[in-house]
């Protein structure tokens, strides 16, 4: 089998059958983005495309079988990734309808709501996910919309009390949604029980706002033209008591509130946690978009020539050292993230099929999804940008897709959780992981965590742990004599860095234990960049380990060998990016450090002949690449 096919098998992962089918089925659907459409036309086209997807089984996959779904969460996320190769508007609109809106109904609702799921799957009911407000996007515990229970009529009254409480940027809200899953402060018997989710009809069948509901249109955006983002204001809108999605909190006819989770913070984060698939999908879709961009730039660099070499022949772009340095490390990172994403999806799938998912594992899934989403979306922005620049003026023409990919993926860095906020979430979770108290986002709780427990917590591994440890133990030399090309050395460097960064962070934050709230805020705020860094170096380790484990699962041969070399480039460039840290903490000596740059260059040279195989390995469907820059 050709090398690129073997690579594809290696990184297609457990849901390879979904990818193979999707490459076939989606290719027949004319999904390629049409940039000549007006905003209105683009929105209608995307809705029509959603309908075409129903027979593929991707929309149903994420719902449980007993509710009429396919019972295959891994397929749902993998299918979304495949859509992302064609058009991110389509991916986002699918994610809003089936992932966020449908996911809220399935995961936050109970039997009485699950009857809606068949209609959600087949688009007879189009919904939106109305969480973000103008005034609160990241801090969603502080949402202002209220849902006040009126026992007299057994209804909730949904209300937007201030201009800032307007629901904002909501996908499907400008036009297509007839129902909203509205997040609002639940108030009953005079008490606020925190944010819960309610089903609120917002439009009639003719698309007119229902009484008390005022929708409006966010209009033109940086990208995602096919998605109708909008705003919603509620003026004392009454809905039946039963419209509360009541899995984690219920209100009886008389207004009595009950919940299986007592702590108000913990309840809120438990609810959010059930929606983890959104972040997993967004990270995977961003990675898919990065792969499309790098495929375009890689293929272009293998056909475009510029400037003559000594002997008179014009040189392929890909033969230039700078071009290799621009593209190959990004390609290597895309491989790394694919393995990490495959591992994450498998874990999510397992947990979502479980009757009683382990709480610790669930929490770890959430924070890993948060961290991976952040690095994958930034990687996508960077990779597509570099790809655009590497294609010069041709890359700037809309017909060649790169600028559209770049536009569409841009918002991925700030939606489904702002990346900086997500990395802080992960950083805090790394700190509190083994502390007894699950303290939500309370900074005081964090400081109670003692640094001494890090060593064990960090090393705890769920995947391929024994293999990783074996590689580390067998590494060729220590410190000054270490061989930077040795995987064990690399794994060790990544692991030690994470330990040290976390350890330093914990020591800085300990002072906050006895501080007053303002002083504690100051201490935490001063360490905020350190916290974000802890999350980043953790994710680096997780990704390198996933890559290593993924190679171990690949059949020995040329593809496995090429993956090893690709993994080495990923490890080396990650080390290069943070070389000052490794030197400053005596993990890489000065003479060793000077080897890094030549090693990276040599690794690029080694991978250069495999550029075509590597981009073909991503398996981007040809239908997503029918652009003049590659076909003329």
Least distance in angstroms from the C-beta of 462 to its own copies = 29
User: Among residue numbers 147 through 176, which ones bind its own copies (CB under 8 A)?
Assistant: 168-169
Q: How many residues bind its own copies (CB under 8 A)?
A: 75
Cβ of residue 630: shortest distance to its own copies, in angstroms? 14
- Determine if 564 is a binding residue for its own copies (CB under 8 A): no
Q: Please state the three-class secondary structure of 324-392 as a single string.
A: HHHHHHHHHHHHHHHHHHHHHHHHHHHHHHCCCCCHHHHHHHHHHHHHHHHHHHHHHHHHHHHHHHHCH
Please select the residue that binds its own copies; options are 206, 514, 590, 631, rule is CB under 8 A: 590
Under 8 Å between Cβ of 316 and 305: yes
Q: Does 628 bind its own copies (CB under 8 A)?
A: no
Q: Let me know: does 3 contact 613? Beta carbons within 8 Å.
A: yes
- Return the closest-CA partner of residue 627 out of 394, 362, 465: 394
Q: How far is residue 139's CA from residue 267's CA, in Å, rounded to a whole number? A: 15
**Binding its own copies by CB under 8 A: which of 303, 525, 561, 626?**
525
Place of tokens 């805020």: 521
516 part of the interface to its own copies, by CB under 8 A: yes
Site for its own copies contains 580 (CB under 8 A): yes
Q: Between residue 240 and residue 279, which ones bind its own copies under the rule CB under 8 A?
A: none
C-alpha closest to that of 289 among 167, 393, 384, 179:
384
Catalytic residue among 366, 416, 498, 616: 416
Report d(CA 49, CA 37) in Å as an integer: 14
The reply to whether 555 sits near its own copies by the rule CB under 8 A is no
Of 479, 438, 436, 433, whose CA–CA distance to 458 is shortest? 433
**Does 619 engage in binding with its own copies (CB under 8 A)?**
no
With CB under 8 A as the contact rule, the residue among 2, 207, 211, 222 that binds its own copies is 222
Does 389 help bind its own copies (rule: CB under 8 A)? yes
Q: What is the dihedral of CA 532, 537, 542, 544, to 10 degrees?
A: 140
Give the footprint of its own copies on residues 292-311 (CB under 8 A): 306-311
CB of 381 to its own copies, least distance (A): 7
451's tokens: 């640094």
Per CB under 8 A, 385 contacts its own copies: yes
Of 388, 433, 536, 541, the residue at the interface with its own copies (CB under 8 A) is: 388
Residue recorded with tokens 């009683």: 356
In the complex, minimum distance from the CB of residue 317 to its own copies, in angstroms, rounded to a whole number:
10
Q: What is the CA radius of gyration of the chain?
A: 25
CB-based contact 87:226 (threshold 8 Å): yes
Tokens 């005596």 found at: 586
Chain centre distance of CA 286 = 7
Among the residue ranges 193-201, 458-466, 490-498, 517-525, the one whose residues contact its own copies (CB under 8 A): 517-525
Per CB under 8 A, the segment of 81-89, 273-281, 391-399, 486-494 that binds its own copies is 391-399
Nearest approach in angstroms of CB 269 to its own copies is: 15
User: Does 124 contact its own copies by CB under 8 A?
Assistant: no
Residue from 162, 465, 528, 557 binding its own copies (CB under 8 A) = 528
Confirm if 185 and 145 have CB atoms less than 8 A apart. yes
Q: Does 41 bind its own copies (CB under 8 A)?
A: no
139 in contact with its own copies (CB under 8 A): yes
Which one of 118, 137, 357, 445 is in contact with its own copies (CB under 8 A)? Answer: 137
Q: CB 632 → its own copies: shortest distance, Å?
A: 8
| Shortest CB 559 distance to its own copies, Å | 28
Q: How far is the CB of 578 from its own copies (least distance, A)?
A: 9
Q: How many CB atoms lie within 10 A of CB 237?
A: 23
Of 391 and 621, which has the nearer Cβ to its own copies?
391
Draw the binding track, 343-382, toward its own copies (x: CB under 8 A; -: no contact): --------------------------------------x-
Please list every residue from 442 through 481 that binds its own copies, using CB under 8 A.
Answer: 443
The answer to whether 485 and 568 are in contact (CB under 8 A) is: yes
Long-range contacts of 501-504 (CB under 8 A, 24+ apart): 501/530, 501/533, 501/534, 501/537, 502/430, 502/431, 502/451, 502/454, 502/458, 502/534, 502/538, 503/451, 503/454, 504/530
Site stretch for its own copies (CB under 8 A), options 52-60, 273-281, 353-361, 578-586: 578-586
Q: Is 481 a catalytic residue?
A: no
Phi, psi of 171 (to 5 degrees): -65, 135
Residues in CB range of 95: below 8 A, 6 or more apart: 80, 278, 281, 282, 285
Stretch that binds its own copies, among 22-30, 78-86, 117-125, 321-329 (CB under 8 A): 321-329
- According to the binding rule CB under 8 A, does residue 601 interact with its own copies? yes
Residues 136, 160: Cα–Cα separation, whole Å: 13
Q: Measured from the CB atom, is 310 or 456 closer to its own copies?
A: 310
Return d(Cα 336, Cα 546) in angstroms, integer. Answer: 8
> Does residue number 521 form part of the binding site for its own copies (CB under 8 A)?
yes
Query: In angstroms, rounded to a whole number, what is the distance separating the alpha carbons of residues 599 and 587?
Result: 17
Q: What is the footprint of its own copies within residues 53-112 (CB under 8 A)?
A: none
For the bound state, the minimum distance from the C-beta of residue 35 to its own copies, rounded and expressed in Å, comes to 5
Binding mask 407-436 for its own copies (x = CB under 8 A): x--xx-xxx--xxx---x------------
**Cα–Cα nearest to 188, from 238, 141, 139, 241:** 241
Chain length of the chain: 632
Residue 410 CA to residue 403 CA, distance in Å, equals 11
Burial grade of 515 (CB within 10 A; 0-12, 13-18, 19 or more) = middle
Give min distance, CB of 397 to its own copies, in A: 6
Instruction: For the CB of residue 583, give the shortest distance to its own copies in the complex, in Å.
Output: 5
14, 16, 136, 461: which one binds its own copies (CB under 8 A)? 136
Q: Which is nearer to its own copies, 124 or 399 (CB)?
A: 399
Give the CA distances from residue 333 to residues 114, 121, 529, 599, 621, in Å, rounded to whole numbers and listed in that order. Answer: 40, 35, 23, 17, 20
Minimum CB distance to its own copies smaller for 190 or for 310 = 310
Element spanning 112, H or E: helix 111-114
- Using the minimum distance from each CB to its own copies, give the nearer residue, 62 or 329: 329
Active site residues: 416
């Amino acid at each position: 089998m050709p090398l690129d096919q073997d690579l594809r098998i290696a990184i297609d992962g457990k849901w390879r059958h979904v990818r193979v089918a999707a490459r076939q089925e989606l290719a027949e659907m004319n999904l390629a983005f049409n940039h000549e459409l007006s905003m209105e036309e683009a929105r209608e086209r995307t809705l029509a495309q959603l309908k075409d997807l129903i027979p593929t089984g991707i929309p149903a996959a994420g719902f449980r079988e007993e509710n009429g779904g396919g019972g295959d969460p891994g397929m749902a996320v993998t299918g979304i990734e495949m859509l992302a190769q064609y058009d991110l508007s389509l991916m986002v609109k699918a994610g809003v309808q089936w992932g966020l809106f449908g996911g809220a109904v399935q995961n936050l609702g109970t039997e009485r709501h699950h009857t809606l799921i068949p209609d959600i799957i087949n688009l007879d009911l189009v919904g939106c996910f109305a969480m973000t407000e103008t005034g609160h996007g990241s801090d969603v515990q502080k949402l202002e919309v209220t849902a006040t229970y009126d026992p007299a009529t057994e209804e909730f009254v949904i209300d937007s009390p201030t201009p800032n409480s307007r629901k904002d940027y909501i996908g499907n809200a400008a036009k297509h949604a007839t129902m909203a899953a509205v997040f609002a402060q639940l108030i009953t018997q005079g008490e606020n029980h925190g944010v819960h989710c309610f089903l609120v009809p917002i439009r009639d069948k003719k698309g007119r706002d229902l009484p008390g509901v005022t929708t409006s249109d966010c209009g033109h955006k940086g990208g995602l033209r096919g998605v109708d983002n909008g705003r919603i204001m509620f003026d004392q809108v009454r809905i039946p008591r039963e419209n509360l999605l009541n899995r984690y909190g219920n209100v009886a006819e008389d207004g009595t509130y009950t919940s299986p989770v007592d702590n108000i913070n913990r309840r809120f984060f438990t609810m959010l946690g059930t929606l983890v698939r959104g972040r997993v999908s967004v990270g995977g879709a961003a990675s898919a978009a990065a792969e499309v961009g790098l495929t375009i730039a890689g293929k272009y660099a293998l056909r475009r020539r510029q400037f003559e070499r000594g002997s008179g022949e014009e040189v392929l772009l890909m033969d230039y050292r700078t071009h290799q340095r621009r593209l190959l490390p990004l390609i290597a990172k895309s491989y790394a993230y694919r393995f990490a994403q495959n591992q994450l999806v498998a874990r999510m799938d397992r947990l979502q099929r479980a009757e009683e998912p382990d709480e610790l594992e669930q929490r770890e899934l959430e924070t890993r999804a948060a961290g991976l989403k952040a690095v994958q979306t930034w990687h996508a922005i960077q990779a597509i940008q570099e790809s655009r620049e590497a294609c010069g003026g041709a890359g700037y023409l809309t017909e060649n897709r790169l600028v559209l990919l770049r536009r569409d993926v841009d918002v991925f860095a700030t939606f489904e959780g702002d990346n900086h906020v997500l990395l802080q979430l992960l950083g805090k979770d790394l700190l509190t992981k083994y502390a007894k108290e699950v303290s939500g986002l309370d900074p005081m709780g964090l400081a109670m965590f003692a640094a001494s427990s890090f060593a064990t917590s960090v090393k705890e591994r769920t995947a391929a742990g024994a293999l990783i440890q074996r590689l580390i133990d067998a590494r060729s030399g220590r410190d000054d004599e270490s061989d930077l090309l040795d995987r064990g050395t690399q794994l060790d460097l990544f692991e030690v860095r994470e330990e040290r960064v976390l350890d330093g962070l914990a020591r800085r934050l300990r002072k906050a234990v006895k501080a007053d709230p303002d002083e504690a805020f100051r201490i935490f705020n001063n360490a905020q960049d350190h916290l974000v860094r802890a999350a980043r170096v953790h994710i680096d380790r997780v990704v390198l380990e996933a890559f290593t484990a993924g190679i171990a699962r690949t059949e020995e041969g040329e593809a496995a060998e090429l993956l090893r070399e690709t993994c080495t480039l990923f490890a080396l460039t990650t080390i290069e990016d943070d070389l000052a840290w490794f030197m400053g903490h005596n993990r890489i000596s000065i003479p060793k450090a000077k080897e890094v740059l030549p090693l990276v260059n040599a690794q690029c040279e080694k991978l250069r002949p495999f550029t075509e195989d590597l981009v073909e390995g991503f398996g981007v469907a040809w239908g997503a690449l029918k652009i003049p820059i590659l076909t003329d």
